[in-house]
Amino acid sequence: MKPRICLTARQVRISASEELPMSSSLPPTPPRQLDETGFIDAARARLEEVYGPRSDAILRRLVTLISHQRGAIDATPRPLWSERDQWLITYGDSLLDGDRAPLEVLKGFLDERTEDIFSGVHVLPFFPWSSDDGFSVVHYREVNPELGDWPDIRALADRRDLMVDLVINHVSRDSLWFVDYLADSQPGRNYFIEMDPATDLSQVTRPRNSPLLVPVSTRRGTRHLWATFSEDQIDLNFDNPDVLIEFVGILLFYLQQGARTIRLDAIAYLWKEVGTSCIHLPQTHAIVRLLRAIVDYVAPGTRLITETNVPHRENMSYLGLERAAMEGTAPDEAHLIYQFTLPPLLVHTLTSGDATALTQWARSLPALPPGCSYFNFTASHDGIGVRALEGLLPQHEVDVMLDLMHRFGGFVSMKTNPDGQDSPYEINIAYFDAMKGTRRGADAWQVERFLLSQNLLLALQGIPGIYLHSLTATLNDHEGVERRGQLRAINRRRWQLCELNELIDSRSTPTREAFGSLKERLKQRAAEPCFHPEAPQRVLETPPGLFAIERGPLPDGRRLLAIYNISDQRQPLSMPELDQGQWLDVLADGNVWAPDEREILRPYRSLWLVQPGLA
């Protein structure tokens, strides 16, 4: 039995008037929908958690704003996800071609080269910006003219789902809001957080080692402002409800432009309260739940995803599972969380040749209720965060990995701890080069090791996100680091389209091999019902050199085994599950799995074995 072919983009991006082909025993996940009464009740409760006695007036303003903007948003309910959901992550200018608008170049590349294997695309901040490659936003409602314009964005959203960043924690000091603040004018006068520099802020959790308070010269003299990430990224004051209302308006505007997934950037640091860590505060969670109520009301099927590069348990809190269990309700916070543990844990696993920690972590993941899932990735525009490994790996193992990444051409960025000491925050390296070798050094298995990391990613429960530079096996961009003066530039290369096309079309290049292999795997994944985000996942017992999971069984009995040799040594296959009937090899055109494969699995080999269910 051969796997079903990949569906067209029109079928992948399901509209309300379309029916999904009957190819899976798990239907696309329906969205939660709120009527007007349900929305007002939910919004009132969330606003009371944040603003107390001020909440009634804020609710009236919120309802008025939504009533004025809702008519321009496509409110047709859409399924949240199915096995066909798989995303590309890219900057708007990662592909360049002469004088053509980069967003136009990106759309052409997706249409012509990826054959609709991606159901969605996350275009990283495409707004005018002053630093941090887009995350220091100057104008939230404009497209950077160097990239294109809103019609280019809407054209991308027309054929596939679009993820847009809501950079909600901070704004560029070049923004008009900040100009208002300096001049003591509305609306920006009260948009920022002034703090006496003598205030004890030692408990504040920092993701950077830059000063937390930035001195600023204003008409009222020198003021010190809260800046979690950099002196150019000034934190916004959500204790001022005007800021909340402004960002709800921005959210609605993005929905009007066709966005169907909203990424809440750096959301964990949103609310500040002196004397606390100023991370994951209850008010922050309440605001996420408020935004969830808004999208469930105005555009059911819109997904919220939280970006919180923190230890695993803290990251999980944004699904709201524990609170929902206590209240006896369905979770109503984020739909998706970034699986930040996966990128560094895979680096450790594949460079050590030992899957023990990966197996233990995967086994600890809870079964998620409908409407909640993971966004699985190995690489993104940021580095490989190491905070997610806290409590999962002993420090000496982390240190070994950091040293190895240095040897493979990477860097390590630091953060400041409450005691004033610095500690590693993230590894800056191209993921392809992170797979250059093992602890013994570089070897000849780089391509195979890298492709296994991606094959493993695709099989895990959740929705996969593939960074453009993983799709193209991009190397460390040391020239970019020198030219742009930031370590993260090592993984943010800007390709000339002609150069990239030449590498893809050449007979023998890592780019060609990675690109072709990942395209094929993505096609196979999109056609396999067992990869539905809500299909059960069970981690199997294996020796340290193997990692294996079962997806399913589905209601019709279909199940899939994903087995990986994560080492550079041949591994014997002695798993009782393999003796339970006949298996079909998805990665070999659906043919019956050959008996000789039961004995030995070659280094960095992947198996996707399926037992079909009832006809």
| Residues 6 or more apart whose Cβ sits within 8 Å of residue 395 | none
DSSP letter, residue 388: G
Q: Are 137 and 167 in contact (CB under 8 A)?
A: yes
Calculated CA dihedral for residues 47, 48, 54, 58, nearest 10 degrees: 20
Identify the three-state secondary structure at position 156.
helix
Residue 141 domain flag: no
User: Considering 161, 265, 477, 568, which one is annotated as catalytic?
Assistant: 265
Q: Give the position of tokens 């992948």.
A: 12
Judge whether 382 is annotated as a binding position: yes
Residue 482 domain flag: no
Number of domains the chain is built from: 1
Residue 497 domain flag: no
pLDDT value of residue 417: 81
Paired tokens of 414: 């630091």
Q: Look up 265 and say whether it is catalytic.
A: yes
Q: Are 384 and 430 in contact (CB under 8 A)?
A: no
Residue at 484: amino acid letter: R
Q: Where on the phi/psi map is residue 14: left (φ > 0), alpha (ψ -120 to 50), or beta?
A: beta
Residue 496 domain flag: no
How large is the C-alpha radius of gyration of the chain? 24
pLDDT value of residue 9: 30
Domain extent for 575 = 537-611
Task: Report the alpha-carbon distance of residue 272 to residue 195 in Å, rounded.
Answer: 11
Residue 563 domain flag: yes
Cis amide linkage into residue 28, ω under 30° from 0:
no
Judge whether 478 is annotated as a binding position: no
| Residues 6 or more apart whose Cβ sits within 8 Å of residue 267 | 168, 169, 284, 288, 306, 307, 308, 318
Residue 187 domain flag: no
Q: Is the dihedral of CA 571, 577, 582, 583 positive or negative?
A: negative
**CA-wise closest residue to 265 among 167, 127, 385:** 167
Cis amide linkage into residue 553, ω under 30° from 0:
yes
Judge whether 170 is annotated as a binding position: yes
Mean pLDDT by 10 residues, the chain (615 residues): 31 32 71 97 98 98 97 95 97 97 98 94 98 96 98 96 98 98 95 97 92 96 97 98 98 98 98 97 98 98 96 95 94 97 98 98 95 97 94 96 98 84 92 98 98 98 98 97 94 97 95 97 97 97 97 96 97 90 91 73 96 78
pLDDT value of residue 590: 85
Identify the three-state secondary structure at position 213.
strand
Paired tokens of 407: 């040897």
Q: Are 186 and 180 in contact (CB under 8 A)?
A: yes
Residue at 154: amino acid letter: R
pLDDT value of residue 334: 98
Q: What is the CATH number of the domain that holds 571?
A: 2.60.40.1180
Residue 125 domain flag: no
Say how many residues make up the chain. Answer: 615
Judge whether 381 is annotated as a binding position: yes
Q: Are 585 and 591 in contact (CB under 8 A)?
A: yes
pTM of the model: 0.94
**CA-wise closest residue to 106 among 495, 515, 508:** 495
- C-alpha distances in Å from residue 615, one per residue of 23, 25, 612: 11, 11, 8
Residues 382-416: b if buried by 16+ CB within 10 A, e if exposed = bbbbbbbbeebbeeeebebbbebbeebbbbbbebb
* Alpha helices in 365-462, H assignment, sequence order: 395-407, 431-434, 446-459
Paired tokens of 397: 């193992």
Judge whether 174 is annotated as a binding position: no
φ, ψ at 198 (rounded to 5°) = -80, -10
**CA-wise closest residue to 264 among 245, 289, 242:** 289
Task: Report the alpha-carbon distance of residue 562 to residue 581 in Å, rounded.
Answer: 16
Strand partners of residue 585: 591, 609
Task: Report the alpha-carbon distance of residue 133 to residue 91 in Å, rounded.
Answer: 9
Residue 542 domain flag: yes
Task: Report the alpha-carbon distance of residue 323 to residue 332 in Å, rounded.
Answer: 10
pLDDT value of residue 14: 32
